[in-house]
Structure 1
Amino acid sequence: RADQVQAFLPSPMAMATAMYHTGKDPIHRIARNSPDMPIPRGDRQRRLHKAFLRYHDANNWPMLREALKRMGRADLIGNGKRHLIPTWQPAGTGDASTQPGKAKAFRTQHTGLPDAKRPTKAGAASGKPRKPGKGRARKGINPGSPTGRGKRR
C-alpha cells in the first residue's frame, strides 16, 4: 500500500514530459490527427488520482465515493471483498477532521538548534578513558599494512 505519492515534475528529455506537454502519446506514432491523451493538470484531478492510489486511507473515502458515483461505478462502494471502499465512514476521518494549514511542525536534522540528547549504550560513553592496547585491534595484524593475510606477489 502506497503511503507516499509524489507529484509528477516534468524533467527534460523524458517521454513522460513529452506526453505531459503535448497531450499526445509518444510511444505511438504522432500525427496531426492523433487522439489526445487526458493529462491530470488541475489540483482537484491530482488529488483524486492520489486518493485512488491511497484508497485504503479512510480520509480519502468521501472523495472516492463521490468520484465513483460520477463515473457510474457505484458498484465498487460497499462492505464486501469485491468492493473498493465501504459505505460507512469511521468517526474522526473524512472531510470534517482534515483542516488544511493545521499540520504539526517537525524538526529536521539541520535546524540550527542544539542537538537533542540521544540515549547512549550502557558503558559506551561512561567517561572512562580506554586502556591502551584494548579495543578492536586483532592479533597478528599490523595496523599499517593491508589486512595482512597472505603474501603480496
Structure 2
Amino acid sequence: MPNDSTTASVKDIRKFAIIQFVITFAFLAFVFWMFSGTDADYPPIWLIVVMMAAIAVGAFFSERVWLTGTPLDPEDSADTNQLLALEAYANQTVRKLIYSEAPLILAVLICFVGSYGGWPVLIAALPGLAVQAWETWPHLRNTSMSAAILESRSADSQLVENFVRS
C-alpha cells in the first residue's frame, strides 16, 4: 500500500525535475563565476576525457535505473497500482538525478583542486545538464520504459496515461 503522505503526483514529479535542473544550473553558474570563468589555463585533454567519461558513466547508470523496478501486483486495485506506479517513478527519478549529478560534482571538485578556473564546470555543464534533463524529465520515453517493468506481470499502472493527461 502506498504511503499517502509521501505519494507523489504527476505535477510534483515535473516540478521536481524543473527545480533540480534550475538549482544545478545556478550552482554551476555560481561556481563558474567564483573561479573567474575562463581566466585560467585550459585543462589538459586527458582531464576533459575523464570528465566526459564520468558523464557517460552517469548516463549509463541512469539508463539502467528503470530496470530495477518491481512489477506491480495485478491483484491490487487499479487506484493502488496507479499510486504505487507514481511512487516508483518518483523514486526512480531521484536515483536518476543522483547518477546524472555526480559527474557535475566531480567537475566542481576539479575546479577546487586544479588551477583551471571555471573551465571544468563550463566543459562539463552542457553535456551534464543535457543528460540530467533527459533522464529526469518525465517524457514519453522515460515513462514508457518505467511502465514496461511495472506492468510486466499484467498489472495496469496507467503511468504513461497519467503523464499524458496532465
TM-score > 0.5 by shorter chain? no
> Normalising to structure 1: TM-score of the pair?
0.26
Rg: which structure is higher?
1
- Larger RCO of the pair (alpha carbons < 8 Å, separation 6+): 2
Structure with greater proportional helix content: 2
> Normalising to structure 2: TM-score of the pair?
0.24
